[in-house]
Amino acid sequence: MGREYVIKKRDGGPSKSGIDYRAELNEQQYAAVSSDPGASLVIAGAGSGKTRTLTYRVAYLLDQGVEARNILLLTFTNKASKEMTERVKELIPGDISDLWGGTFHSIGNRILRRHADELGFDRSFSILDRDDQKALIKPIIKRAAVDVKNKRFPKPDLLLSIFSLVLNTQESLEDILYHRYDYLMEWETEIEKIYKGYIKKKLETNSMDFDDLLVLLLKLLKENEDIRGLYQKKFRYVLVDEYQDTNMVQCEIVDLLVGKSRNLMVVGDDAQSIYSWRGADMENILKFHARYPEAVTYKIETNYRSQPEILELSNAAIAANTEQIQKKLMASRKGGEMVPALLALSDPRAQADFVAQRVQEVIDEGVEEEEIAVLYRAHYQSMEIQMEFTSRMIPFQITSGLRFFEQAHVKDVSSYIRFVVNRRDEVSFKRMVLMLPGVGDASADKLWRGWLASDAARSEKLPVSFSDVLLDLKVPAKAKSHWDQMCYTLDELVLLDGDDGVKFAAPADMIYSILEGVYEEYMKNAFDNYENRKQDIGQLQNYATQYVDVMEFLAQLSLMSNIDGDPSKRKQEEQKGVTLSSIHQAKGLEWKVVFLIWLADGMFPNGKILEAEDNKMLEEERRLFYVALTRAKDQLYLSYPMMNPRSYSGEVFQNPSRFLDDFPADLVDEWKISGW
């Protein structure tokens, strides 16, 4: 039997911090920070000091003599990793550069750089960004010789999103298509062929994408016992931030790195699990004790962010969920500033008018613009707010996406209208035809020159039928059926009147024809967030009902797109202003004043989820509602429009969000609105 030899710790490591942990932390935080080795689940409610708890735990371990190199701290964002590392440096006077801290992806890259040869890669492998991925997959699609004579094949972006879900959820490609992209099931064989070709090509080119940094790390740890043992011995303590957001791959990686030591602390809040659509699995936190039966649970329930009235409302709202770890946040602040306000407005324009007016009043009362946010379920719900803020010159920044009229799909649809109105609009014509399969820059230029040579393009009178002229032009074979449909759709945008000559259709009718005729099919196969973009077009259609004259409508679109000047310059200026954000983007942030808008059934909760009658997804929508409520520090306004204009069915009455029934009526102050 070999002799055992112990290497003694040498001096020179991190010195004692001198922190009085009992004085610096509240009772619940201290219990978690000073917990004994072993598995522990820390449920840290919104605004309860989660980051503080994690960083003090790292400092506590170092004070107990654990070496920095034996600690692994996993986060979800580079920002969180940097913030926590900086805080630990402030707490600990010694050198902690050996501490392994970073995102799952960065830690995956670090380990794979050492052992890539075990998986058939060189250690100098490239990491592909989205543009690189598309460049790699396009030749694979071409070689697959997909028959797209009658229907469009999914664009590379959409295929890559599907492949990412397959990897991160560990579900089969068939299941992903069936449950999330059922309209692509007819392409299943072709998509699977391309998927296998893509995986093979990455290996041939010694390249990994971001998903591989996780999936291949998991493969390495599962299949190589020696390497797994090496890192299990190295990482004596593993800490994981935002554990409710882990997917199956990340969960397995953590379990394999922890190994027999069981020294694992995961921190999270099941009530803020809102990312199932990108693969996160809340079961990881709900069933943590199934994998670690000995784990101790610590609840941190003192909220330092919100006033009591907001917190009481938040607690009541989330209580309706059945799948949750029970807890109740308690406010450390004194109340009395205001009870959350509930407002029923006549329509979306009235809602925007109220928000803009109240925002201006709050600013006049001394609240800085950066301390105010308008939150919503989906990006398209911000359109009226953007317009009203612009007209009132209220500065704002958008974190949920581009400004409404700058979005690609909005510009795509408007290109059809612009071309019909101005037959010499080369930019709009080419934007339109470049959406066709098999049409590139050279083909688009050739088609433009063909159109320009026609009498219809040069005449002062509109052609009786666009298709009479355009159908004579030669297009690539795979574009033929789509080209024909595009031509017939252009015809629908013009009305013929025998007495007064040619008239254009109403703008809202034009948008309907474009969407139904050509653009909906294009969106389905081009974008992974097709439903959201379709809602955007619906919102554009609603906006267009205000206009009879198409010229006036197009002029307004141009003004709204360009009123703030060059978007690239504006980015530098958007460091200040009221924040407009989707709730998903707002998670982890906070503001003194929050407006939560469009609280109507079908808008929030999402209509698709209500139609599906999926209680699991409805509970996630309620968690999203809870996240929105807990962003507010001082003032909270909840609003919904009672009527929603729709161009083909008139105004539609909207029911208040069912989430508003989840709490007692006396927890909100119902404001009576006049002036509309």
Q: Which two tokens stand for residue 396?
A: 């704002």
**Known catalytic residue: 98?**
no
**Known catalytic residue: 16?**
no
The secondary structure of 325-380, three-state, reads CCCCCEECCCCCCCCCEEEEECCHHHHHHHHHHHHHHHHHCCCCHHHEEEEECCHH
**Known catalytic residue: 28?**
no
Which of 24, 51, 323, 390 is catalytic? The answer is 51
Which of 418, 430, 631, 633 is catalytic? The answer is 631
**Known catalytic residue: 75?**
no
Residue 652: count other Cβ atoms within 10 Å of its Cβ: 11
Which of 242, 270, 281, 412 is catalytic? The answer is 242
Which of 28, 50, 418, 423 is catalytic? The answer is 50
CA angle 505, 510, 511 (to 5 degrees): 160
Spatial separation of the C-alpha atoms in residues 298 and 39, rounded to whole Å: 11
For residue 360, give Cα distances in angstroms to 368, 512, 639: 10, 36, 17
Which of 241, 245, 384, 412 is catalytic? The answer is 241
Do strands 643-646 and 650-653 pair parallel, antiparallel, or not at all (unpaired)?
antiparallel
How far does CA 137 lie from the centroid of its chain? 24
Residue 244 near residue 79, CB atoms below 8 Å = no
Which of 29, 246, 272, 635 is catalytic? The answer is 272
For residue 78, give Cα distances in angstroms to 73, 82, 106, 280, 445: 12, 6, 9, 18, 44
**Known catalytic residue: 388?**
no
Spatial separation of the C-alpha atoms in residues 606 and 608, rounded to whole Å: 6
Spatial separation of the C-alpha atoms in residues 314 and 330, rounded to whole Å: 11
**Known catalytic residue: 122?**
no
Spatial separation of the C-alpha atoms in residues 52 and 87, rounded to whole Å: 8
Q: Active-site residue numbers? A: 50-51, 241-242, 272, 631
